């Protein structure tokens, strides 16, 4: 069906599609155990029709199918679980790499699922367009993965979350192709696009996505501010969000994360900066990165408005160096983890979102849960996505690794954090559910919510071949 050369059964090829990029994935890759799930084969279809044909064969032979994009899941989303199936394949979508069409008048582009972030920008750039979706996984992750997991990019305040960009979806399902999205907005029943987006391969394999695009911005302007403490910082971001004055990138670090920046950021003259801030009443700073992208006119207009509000909120301008250094290092985080692992560090991130009235309490509770579980540790936090009604909280955790049981150490800490989140916020703001968050989904969407998802799955995938053991 796809050609023999596009069915890989070698150990290296199968192992490469067996895990994502969570801390536990990295540990498991370093010390594989016998129960480590690996796909029986990797299949690489060329286009949506071949994806559909492969699914039909898998239904006939009752083979589980794990869609695989960039392999950047940090929640076990690409783990090769087989559920009740005797065999399971990784369906690698890397060959679905085309820009299918551009409708510049409607600012729409159809991209295939396997296109990675940089390639999407390159393809759109040829038409003078951009998607503007830049999550930390940008360099490896794919259009299909962004859609399947409800990704949110670092510039989500300006460009929106990925689901805001999705205007149409084409899915391959065991019951045939499914296409959604005929208009920018509709009252023709529930928005099924929003059911496909976030379905994590359980309701179909996303093969093409129709996306809202924008003109590539001629001007990018990033800068840094400092606020006197977390509460002041969160209040300032809330003020921006509630007055439609958010920069395209708006990212507030708490005191601990700011201290790490001050210690490690070579582009900052730390001593002088501390003195400058202290003289302006900011003894323990929280850094705020703000970045605008657009025409010179638009950036100037919006920057003036953001600056006006930030000043009223007590923010002190730090300048361009802080913004630019963040921008240049924005995708580096994941690459540093291997080095830290080599040094015996437990390093991981987790995230949530809540309404503003819960944000401070949620941050306190998650920090307390993590530190009391891990003992000696550094827990940093930032807000990277702000809304009128609330914000995301993103935690970066560093701890001394328990070498006798490193996996158990993190599983206990993560469970403590998830318990702290439940009831106050969402179990995931942009990392999705996968395997790791599945136990907490019921508390968030209700038993009925889980049953509705299962019923939807049964309708499109009656024999349950799609991504067994994920989401629900």
Within residues 108-137, the interface with a second copy by CB under 8 A covers 108
User: Considering only residues 73, 136, 306, 392, which one is a binding residue for a second copy as defined by CB under 8 A?
Assistant: 392
Query: What's the closest the beta carbon of residue 378 comes to a second copy, in angstroms?
Result: 25
Nearer to a second copy, 244 or 376 (CB): 244
User: Considering only residues 230, 240, 430, 468, which one is a binding residue for a second copy as defined by CB under 8 A?
Assistant: 430
User: Considering only residues 185, 263, 266, 272, which one is a binding residue for a second copy as defined by CB under 8 A?
Assistant: 185
How far apart are the C-alpha atoms of 444 and 441, rounded to whole Å?
5
How far apart are the C-alpha atoms of 427 and 392, rounded to whole Å?
11
Q: Which stretch binds a second copy (CB under 8 A): 80-88, 118-126, 175-183, 256-264?
A: 175-183
426 lies in the site for a second copy, by CB under 8 A: yes
Q: Which stretch binds a second copy (CB under 8 A): 112-120, 367-375, 409-417, 455-463?
A: 455-463
Q: How many other C-beta atoms are found inside a 10 Å radius of the C-beta of residue 447? A: 9
Both structure tokens of 73: 């899941």
**Contact partners, residue 300, CB within 8 Å, separation at least 6:** none
66 lies in the site for a second copy, by CB under 8 A: no
Q: Is 172 helix (H, G, I), strand (E, B) or coil?
A: strand
* Count of residues making up the chain: 472
Cβ-in-10-Å burial (0-12, 13-18, 19+) of 470 comes to: buried
Residues in 305-364 that interact with a second copy by CB under 8 A: 305, 352-358
301 lies in the site for a second copy, by CB under 8 A: yes
How far apart are the C-alpha atoms of 256 and 441, rounded to whole Å?
30
250 lies in the site for a second copy, by CB under 8 A: no
User: Considering only residues 19, 22, 73, 149, which one is a binding residue for a second copy as defined by CB under 8 A?
Assistant: 149
> What does each C-alpha distance from 445 to 119, 387, 414, 452 come to in angstroms?
35, 21, 20, 10
Both structure tokens of 247: 């920069």
Residues in 200-219 that interact with a second copy by CB under 8 A: 200, 203, 212, 214
Nearer to a second copy, 152 or 465 (CB): 152
In sign, the C-alpha dihedral spanning 414, 420, 423, 424 is negative
Nearer to a second copy, 203 or 310 (CB): 203
How far apart are the C-alpha atoms of 438 and 138, rounded to whole Å?
24
Q: Which stretch binds a second copy (CB under 8 A): 24-32, 180-188, 270-278, 312-320?
A: 180-188
Nearer to a second copy, 226 or 427 (CB): 427
Q: How many other C-beta atoms are found inside a 10 Å radius of the C-beta of residue 28? A: 18
415 lies in the site for a second copy, by CB under 8 A: no
175 lies in the site for a second copy, by CB under 8 A: yes
Nearer to a second copy, 186 or 270 (CB): 186
How far apart are the C-alpha atoms of 382 and 377, rounded to whole Å?
17
Query: What's the closest the beta carbon of residue 430 comes to a second copy, in angstroms?
Result: 5
264 lies in the site for a second copy, by CB under 8 A: no
In sign, the C-alpha dihedral spanning 340, 342, 344, 346 is positive
Nearer to a second copy, 318 or 420 (CB): 420
Q: Which stretch binds a second copy (CB under 8 A): 21-29, 78-86, 297-305, 411-419?
A: 297-305
Size of the site for a second copy (CB under 8 A): 90
Are 44 and 94 in contact by the 8 Å Cβ rule? The answer is yes
Nearer to a second copy, 272 or 448 (CB): 448
Query: What's the closest the beta carbon of residue 128 comes to a second copy, in angstroms?
Result: 13
CA angle 125, 126, 128 (to 5 degrees): 55
How far apart are the C-alpha atoms of 310 and 287, rounded to whole Å?
12
Query: What's the closest the beta carbon of residue 393 comes to a second copy, in angstroms?
Result: 10
User: Considering only residues 184, 319, 333, 439, which one is a binding residue for a second copy as defined by CB under 8 A?
Assistant: 184
How far apart are the C-alpha atoms of 205 and 91, rounded to whole Å?
9
Query: What's the closest the beta carbon of residue 357 comes to a second copy, in angstroms?
Result: 5
Nearer to a second copy, 161 or 401 (CB): 161
Q: How many other C-beta atoms are found inside a 10 Å radius of the C-beta of residue 297? A: 9
Annotated catalytic residue, options 159, 387, 394, 440: 394
User: Considering only residues 16, 141, 152, 417, which one is a binding residue for a second copy as defined by CB under 8 A?
Assistant: 152
Which residues fall in the annotated binding site for substrate? 337
User: Considering only residues 89, 90, 237, 460, which one is a binding residue for a second copy as defined by CB under 8 A?
Assistant: 460
**Contact partners, residue 396, CB within 8 Å, separation at least 6:** 257, 333, 347, 348, 349, 379, 380, 381
382 lies in the site for a second copy, by CB under 8 A: no
199 lies in the site for a second copy, by CB under 8 A: yes
How far apart are the C-alpha atoms of 165 and 184, rounded to whole Å?
10
How far apart are the C-alpha atoms of 61 and 48, rounded to whole Å?
20
How far apart are the C-alpha atoms of 262 and 202, rounded to whole Å?
43
Q: Is 440 a catalytic residue?
A: no
The residues that are catalytic are 394
């Amino acid at each position: 069906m796809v050609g023999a050369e596009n069915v890989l059964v070698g150990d290296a090829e199968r192992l490469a599609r067996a895990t994502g990029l969570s801390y536990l994935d990295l540990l498991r890759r370093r010390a594989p155990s016998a129960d480590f799930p690996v796909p029986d084969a990797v299949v690489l279809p060329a286009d949506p029709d071949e994806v559909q044909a492969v699914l039909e064969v898998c239904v006939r032979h009752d083979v589980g199918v794990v869609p695989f994009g960039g392999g950047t899941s940090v929640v076990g989303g690409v783990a090769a679980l087989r559920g009740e199936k005797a065999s399971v394949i990784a369906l690698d979508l890397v060959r679905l790499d085309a820009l299918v069409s551009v409708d510049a008048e409607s600012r729409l582009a159809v991209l295939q699922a396997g296109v990675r972030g940089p390639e999407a920008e390159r393809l759109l750039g040829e038409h003078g367009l951009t998607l503007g979706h830049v999550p930390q996984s940008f360099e490896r992750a794919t259009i299909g993965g962004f859609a399947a997991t409800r990704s949110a990019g670092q510039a989500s305040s300006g460009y929106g979350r990925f689901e805001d960009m999705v205007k149409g979806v084409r899915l391959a399902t065991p019951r045939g192709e499914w296409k959604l999205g005929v208009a920018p907005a509709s009252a023709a029943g529930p928005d099924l696009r929003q059911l496909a987006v976030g379905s994590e391969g359980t309701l179909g394999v996303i093969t093409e996505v129709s996306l809202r695009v924008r003109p590539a911005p001629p001007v990018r302007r990033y800068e840094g501010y400092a606020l006197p403490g977390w509460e002041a910082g969160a209040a300032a971001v809330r003020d921006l969000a509630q007055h439609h004055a958010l920069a395209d990138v708006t990212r507030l670090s708490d005191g601990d994360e700011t201290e790490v920046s001050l210690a490690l950021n070579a582009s900052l003259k730390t001593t002088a900066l501390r003195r400058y801030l202290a003289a302006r009443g900011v003894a323990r700073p929280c850094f705020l990165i703000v970045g605008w992208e657009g025409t010179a006119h638009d950036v100037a207009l919006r920057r003036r408005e953001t600056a006006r509000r930030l000043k009223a909120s007590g923010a002190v301008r730090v300048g361009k160096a802080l913004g630019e250094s963040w921008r240049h290092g924005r995708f580096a985080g994941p690459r540093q983890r291997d080095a830290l692992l080599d040094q015996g560090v437990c390093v991981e991130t987790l995230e949530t979102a809540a309404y503003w009235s819960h944000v401070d309490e949620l941050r306190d509770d998650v920090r307390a849960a993590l530190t009391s579980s891990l003992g000696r540790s550094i827990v940093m936090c930032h807000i990277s996505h702000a809304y009128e009604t609330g914000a995301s909280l993103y935690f970066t955790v560093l701890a001394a690794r328990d070498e006798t049981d490193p996996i158990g150490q993190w599983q206990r800490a993560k469970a403590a954090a998830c318990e702290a989140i439940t009831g106050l916020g969402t179990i995931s703001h942009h990392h999705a559910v996968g395997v790791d968050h599945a136990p907490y989904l019921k508390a968030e969407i209700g038993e009925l919510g889980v049953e509705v998802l299962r019923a939807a799955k049964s309708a499109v995938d009656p024999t349950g071949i799609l991504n067994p053991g994920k989401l629900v």
